[in-house]
Amino acid sequence: MTTETAEMTTGSHPARKPVQELEEVTVRFAGDSGDGMQLVGTQFTRSSVIFGNDVCTFPDYPAEIRAPAGTLAGVSGFQITFSSHDILTPGDKVDALVALNPAALKASLGDVRPGGVVIVNEDAFGKTDLKKAGYETNPLEDDTLKKYQLYKVPISTLNRKALEGSGLGPKEVDRCKNFFSLGVVYWLYGRPMEPTIDWLDAKFGKNPVVCEANKKVLKAGYFFGETCEYITSAFKVAKATLPPGKYRRISGNEAISLGLITAAHLAGKDLFYGTYPITPASDILHTLAMYKNYRVKTFQAEDEIAAVCAAIGASFAGALAATGTSGPGLDLKGEAIGLAVMTELPLVIIDVQRGGPSTGLPTKPEQSDLLHAVFGRHGECPLCVIAASSPSDCFDAAIEASRIAMQHMTPVILLSDGFIANGEEPWRIPDYASLPKITVTHPTESNDGNGFLPYQRDEDSVRPWVLPGTPNLMHRIGGLEKKDVSGGVCYEPENHQRMTELRATKIANIAEKLPLQTVQGPAEGDLLVLTWGGTAGAAGTAVSRVQKRGCSVAFANVRHLHPLPRNLGPILANYRQVLIPELNTGQFRFLIRGHYGIDAVGLNKIQGKPFLVSEIESKIMNLVATNGGNR
Amino acid sequence: MTTESLHVLTPKDYATDQDVRWCPGCGDYAILAQIKKVFADLGLPREKVVFVSGIGCSSRFPYYMETYGFHGIHGRALAVATGVKAANPDLSVWVATGDGDGLSIGGNHLIHTIRRNLDINILLFNNRIYGLTKGQTSPTSELGKRTKSTPWGSIDNPIHPISLAIGAEATFVARTVDVNVKHLAETIKRAAQHVGTSFVEVYQNCVVFNDGAFEYASGKETKAETTVYLEHGKPLIFGANRDKGIRLNGLTPEVVKLGGDIKEDDLLFHDEKAKEPTLAYLLARMQSPEFPEPIGVFRDVEAPCYEAEMERQLQAATAKLGPGTIEKLLNSGDTWTVSA
């Protein structure tokens, strides 16, 4: 850590304070769900990426839109980690917490590292506020915050003073206080204010009073940080050395949306997205609905079943068809997904997983739909399951799911989760021209001389995708068992066995076309840490930390969960132990044991929260230690 | 490759090589025959037609039509049909459903498909019984009906399909009877020609589990007294001697005898083009035995179609924003460059 004295970039105040240089910082904004914490978090993220840091974010908000103000149930938080190096996961411990009320303080304090900065809105710690949060005594006055750097800022008062004569009513004035707190933190970490000022101009240009008020309190907060006596030092996080290229911020749900549109263009198709609103998947609908000039047809159906069935109809008619949902919706779609398996039509089903069962934890991440995705339908019903491992990876995963679906005539379930769906990270924008086209053929000639055989398969066991409207190739498909080749309804015993095996073979064969599983670290050794989905970031970071300490530990993240990569079995055999951290009770471990007869070690967290790097790191160290220590 | 429009199509051209497996005497045979006839009359190219169905006796329909066909899952035909039509508005989309498939398990989709007014045709074969599962009560079974699942009589109030369709503001609503093949064909033709969702209830006899359910409305001796044929702009007259009519008394219809003081001009005149569905609904409430049941087109009005509106928005967005390119898409939002 270096210390220097710097002049901050904004304003002409002569105040100088010492600046400490840090590699990585985690900030959390916490307040009532109506306090605009998600908004300031997003602004802080924009500012940080434009400054040049690598970032990783984790919005954490309650299921209730407006839980009773001031209570723990209503606390909404937004956590962002920004760094001067490559990061894969939001930080374990919070370096600076902004708490706009006692409930926010109470809910988040346990995550703040000792010695960390705690900025509170002093004005919000009245008797009633404390009572609502369940504090018997005022934590600002007892020893509760002794081990932290506490900054008591009368945010409400300062905000009101700054906006005297602004023309806004008292309620509107108070609504600006989130931008005051943002200003303070901007100063604290030397963030540029311009991106937020530009955003305010663009967003509220038509309402200059609101626009100016927010700008004014943002700056007031910034200058407060600079001039107030008790905030004694600022921090600096240098720009990250990311690979050269053009970047943007992206969340998982945005990346899935962009991936679907891109896949449709790569295949020369319209995109049809049939869905029903559900947390945390709805943003995919919101995003896609904005891109009608890309020939995107969004259909908000009357229910989950109609959503998937409409997508199946659109697929039959020739669109790239997708449906998005979360666990409860995947339950409802089950029968229709079986229909897509039987009719062998392309279909992308996105499951943004959340805590279950039933309504469960709608806004919290979990990885507990894996076995449901692989097995959760009646009958022998094989399909492809793949997982996205980070917000930006959702883009590639959506293209991959679409490609497999259309080229292999199968439903594909793409698993995301609430963590990567809402989390954001910088994304190096790919070059569209470099993305491989998705070749799709729709036969227009008979494959039989005097008719058309809808279940005549090619060398990959794939049946032809003939579109309604094609002369002379009229045919009927449906959920009843099909006669091999001809596709007529058929109840013959041998035929059912043959068709069941053909459907399984078709899916199993896809593994032959998939890339081989890769491993980071030693090709054999004591321990392989094996992950799938959104756990990859924390596990990968944990592994590289222990590798730096000389441990013989390797890391592999599996994208293709069904079928599994064809070289995964031999890879697993190269390690004495396999550790599978996952946000469920051991579903991937169960799958791995079933496929390869390997008893992996589980690390299972079912708290509606992603893994901390340290949790995985200490599990690895335990395993390595009992296994003979470092090499 | 030639297109079908160059050929003169006959009903036979729409037949598939599949054996038709409905019970002998089933009302579905008549519907199938009239569909083929009407399609041939209209010269509907076979490749442009998609028949979609769910589960039930009626839902085997697609297998017997030499068009594109999709036999879906129970109750979901309308959702599948919505996707087909939205993805390719050029197709002529038909749904064959029944009282169980369309009104029970698929009731929600019926309401929502109708309110969206996609340009599709819904044929609801109403036999007031579950046939394929062998004789349980259906949503249109009468109160007190004894079936395998209701040995003491049904205690469910029945749904009246026409009332429901009008309640959802269907733009085309009609009722016809399987054995009146001429009227059946006319009704199917009208449905085909309507732009928007056409809802047609067909009184259809199930010979095995509910034989004679519509005898009152289709029997030679009774039908003149128990049904009244709707004709646009004409008074509602019925009876073997066409000497009875329907008159409005305030908002209540009443059966009156023509002659004496009561003239045709005093009767209720049908207006299928009425903007408000009030009259259509009033007619839908006329049920046997208190009233003759209306047969014919209750309502036929124009309204924008969902798939056309969807396409219009796509084109409006393209006109305003330009055709989307992926380069533009990926490079949207806040971007910044990291140099080497």
User: Residue A445 CB: number of other CB atoms within 10 A?
Assistant: 10
A596 shares contact with chain B (CB less than 8 Å):
no
SS3 of B206-261? CCCCCCCCCHHHHCCCCHHHHEEECCCCCECEECCCCCEEEEEECCEEEEEECECC
Least Cα separation, residue A92 to chain B (angstroms): 27
Indicate the pLDDT class of residue B215, thresholds 50, 70 and 90: very high
* Residue in A closest to B16 by C-alpha: A475
Q: Is the pLDDT of residue B5 over 60?
A: no
Say yes or no for a CB contact (<8 Å) between A313 and B45.
no
**Based on the domain organization, do A508 and A559 belong to the same domain?**
no
Say yes or no for a CB contact (<8 Å) between B18 and A247.
no
Q: pLDDT, tens digit, for every residue of B295-337?
A: 999 999 999 999 999 999 999 999 999 999 999 999 998 788 8
Q: pLDDT, tens digit, for every residue of A600-612?
A: 999 999 999 999 9
The phi and psi torsions of A489 (rounded to 5 degrees) equal -65, 135
A134 shares contact with chain B (CB less than 8 Å):
no
Q: Is the pLDDT of residue A496 over 60?
A: yes
A588 shares contact with chain B (CB less than 8 Å):
no
Chain position carrying tokens 């509107």: A172
The phi and psi torsions of A591 (rounded to 5 degrees) equal -65, -45
* Residue of A55, A450, A476 to mutate, interface with B, max B Cβ within 10 Å: A476
**Based on the domain organization, do A459 and A412 belong to the same domain?**
no
Q: Is the pLDDT of residue A627 over 70?
A: no
CA-to-CA distance for A35 and A175, rounded, in angstroms? 7
Closest CA to A48 of A178, A181, A195: A195
Say yes or no for a CB contact (<8 Å) between A297 and B310.
yes
| ω into A430 cis (within 30 of 0) | no
Residue A16: predicted pLDDT: 64
Find the CATH number of the domain harbouring A281.
3.40.50.970
Which CATH architecture group holds B4-213+304-308?
A: 3-Layer(aba) Sandwich (3.40)
Residue A90: predicted pLDDT: 86
Least Cα separation, residue B193 to chain A (angstroms): 19
The HSE-up count of residue A293 (CA atoms within 13 Å, CB side) is: 13
Say yes or no for a CB contact (<8 Å) between A306 and B47.
no
Closest CA to A90 of A541, A432, A557, A544: A541
User: Residue A384 CB: number of other CB atoms within 10 A?
Assistant: 25
Residue A628: predicted pLDDT: 52
**Based on the domain organization, do A322 and A417 belong to the same domain?**
yes
Say yes or no for a CB contact (<8 Å) between A469 and B91.
yes
Say yes or no for a CB contact (<8 Å) between B338 and A244.
yes
Q: Are A617 and A596 in contact (CB under 8 A)?
A: no
Examine residue A520 and state whether it is found in any structural domain, yes or no.
Answer: no
Residue A58: predicted pLDDT: 87
**Based on the domain organization, do A286 and A406 belong to the same domain?**
yes
**Based on the domain organization, do A305 and A417 belong to the same domain?**
yes
A-B contacts at Cβ under 8 angstroms: 220
Say yes or no for a CB contact (<8 Å) between A318 and B87.
yes
* Residue in B closest to A256 by C-alpha: B330
Q: pLDDT, tens digit, for every residue of A218-243?
A: 999 999 999 988 888 889 999 888 88
List, in sequence order, the alpha helices (H) in chain B.
28-42, 77-87, 99-100, 107-116, 161-167, 181-193, 215-218, 223-226, 278-284, 306-321, 326-330
Q: Give the lowest-confidence range in A53-62, A161-170, A194-203, A482-491.
A: A53-62
* Residue of A85, A271, A294 to mutate, interface with B, max B Cβ within 10 Å: A294
Nearest to B70 among A258, A469, A477 (CB): A477
* Residue in B closest to A345 by C-alpha: B70
Say yes or no for a CB contact (<8 Å) between B109 and A302.
yes
CA-to-CA distance for A122 and A539, rounded, in angstroms? 38
Question: ipTM strictly over 0.95?
Answer: yes
**Based on the domain organization, do A274 and A408 belong to the same domain?**
yes
The phi and psi torsions of B78 (rounded to 5 degrees) equal -65, -35
How many domains, in total, are found in chain A? Answer: 4
Nearest to B322 among A272, A293, A477 (CB): A293
Least Cα separation, residue B134 to chain A (angstroms): 19
What is the maximum alpha-carbon separation in chain A? 90
**Based on the domain organization, do A82 and A113 belong to the same domain?**
yes
Nearest to A294 among B4, B18, B329 (CB): B329
Residue numbers in A near B339 (CB within 8 A): 244
Strands A17-22 and A3-6: antiparallel
**Based on the domain organization, do A413 and A553 belong to the same domain?**
no
Least Cα separation, residue A276 to chain B (angstroms): 13
Q: Are B284 and B160 in contact (CB under 8 A)?
A: yes
- The angle, 0 to 180 degrees and rounded to 10, between the axes of the packed helices A327-343 and A304-316 is 30
Find the CATH number of the domain harbouring A144.
3.40.920.10
Say yes or no for a CB contact (<8 Å) between A468 and B47.
yes
**Based on the domain organization, do A184 and A220 belong to the same domain?**
yes
Residue numbers in B near A444 (CB within 8 A): 1
- The angle, 0 to 180 degrees and rounded to 10, between the axes of the packed helices B181-193 and B28-42 is 50
* Residue of A201, A309, A347 to mutate, interface with B, max B Cβ within 10 Å: A309
Residue after which a domain boundary falls, among A478, A513, A548: A513
How would you classify residue B207: left for phi > 0, otherwise alpha for psi between -120 and 50, otherwise beta? Answer: alpha
Say yes or no for a CB contact (<8 Å) between B111 and A302.
yes
Closest CA to A54 of A536, A540, A544, A426: A426
Indicate the pLDDT class of residue A630, thresholds 50, 70 and 90: very low
Q: Are B103 and B132 in contact (CB under 8 A)?
A: no
Give the H/E segment covering residue A304: helix A304-316
**Based on the domain organization, do A139 and A57 belong to the same domain?**
yes
pTM of structure: 0.92
* Residue of A50, A57, A272, A302 to mutate, interface with B, max B Cβ within 10 Å: A302
Q: Is the pLDDT of residue A577 over 70?
A: yes
Residue numbers in B near A318 (CB within 8 A): 87-88
Say yes or no for a CB contact (<8 Å) between B47 and A310.
no
Interface list for A 398-437 with B (CB within 8 A): 429-430, 432
**Based on the domain organization, do A263 and A212 belong to the same domain?**
no
Q: Which two tokens stand for residue B202?
A: 């067909």
CA–centroid distance for B126 within its chain: 10
Residue numbers in A near B336 (CB within 8 A): 49-50, 52, 246-248
Q: Is the pLDDT of residue B99 over 50?
A: yes
A483 shares contact with chain B (CB less than 8 Å):
no
Residue after which a domain boundary falls, among A491, A513, A535: A513
Closest CA to A382 of A341, A336, A332: A341
Q: Is the pLDDT of residue A311 over 60?
A: yes
Q: Who's near A199: CB < 8 A, 6+ residues apart?
A: A43, A46
Q: Is the pLDDT of residue A345 over 70?
A: yes
Q: Is the pLDDT of residue A505 over 80?
A: yes
Q: pLDDT, tens digit, for every residue of A253-308?
A: 999 999 999 999 999 999 999 999 999 999 999 999 999 999 999 999 999 999 99
Q: Which two tokens stand for residue A605?
A: 């967290």
A459 shares contact with chain B (CB less than 8 Å):
no
Higher-pLDDT residue of B333 and B218 is B218
Examine residue A578 and state whether it is found in any structural domain, yes or no.
Answer: yes
- The chain-wide mean pLDDT, for chain A, equals 93
**Based on the domain organization, do A537 and A455 belong to the same domain?**
no
Q: Spell out the domain ranges in chain B.
A: 4-213+304-308
Q: Which whole-number Å values give the CA distances from A435 to A42, A167, A240, A251, A266, in the listed order? A: 30, 52, 27, 21, 8
Examine residue A631 and state whether it is found in any structural domain, yes or no.
Answer: no
A274 shares contact with chain B (CB less than 8 Å):
yes
Q: Which two tokens stand for residue A130?
A: 């404390």
Residue B4: predicted pLDDT: 47
Average pLDDT, stretch A87-100? 92
Residue numbers in A near B68 (CB within 8 A): 468-469, 474-476
Chain position carrying tokens 């051209």: B13
Q: Are B247 and B262 in contact (CB under 8 A)?
A: yes
**Partners of B211 in the beta sheet?**
none
Residue A14: predicted pLDDT: 36
CA-to-CA distance for A219 and A11, rounded, in angstroms? 9
Closest CA to B297 of B277, B312, B317, B313: B277
Strands A245-251 and A424-428: antiparallel
CA-based Rg of chain A, rounded to a whole angstrom? 27
Residue A458: predicted pLDDT: 96
Q: What does DSSP assign to residue A124? A: G
Find the CATH number of the domain harbouring A556.
3.40.50.920
Q: Is the pLDDT of residue A3 over 50?
A: no
Say yes or no for a CB contact (<8 Å) between B83 and A314.
yes
Residue after which a domain boundary falls, among A237, A272, A302: A237
Chain position carrying tokens 């029968």: A335
Examine residue A608 and state whether it is found in any structural domain, yes or no.
Answer: yes
**Domain of A484?**
441-513
Residue B157: predicted pLDDT: 97
Indicate the pLDDT class of residue B6, thresholds 50, 70 and 90: low
Q: Is the pLDDT of residue A390 over 60?
A: yes
Say yes or no for a CB contact (<8 Å) between A321 and B90.
no
Residue A584: predicted pLDDT: 98
Indicate the pLDDT class of residue B1, thresholds 50, 70 and 90: very low
User: Residue B252 CB: number of other CB atoms within 10 A?
Assistant: 9
Q: Are A424 and A89 in contact (CB under 8 A)?
A: no
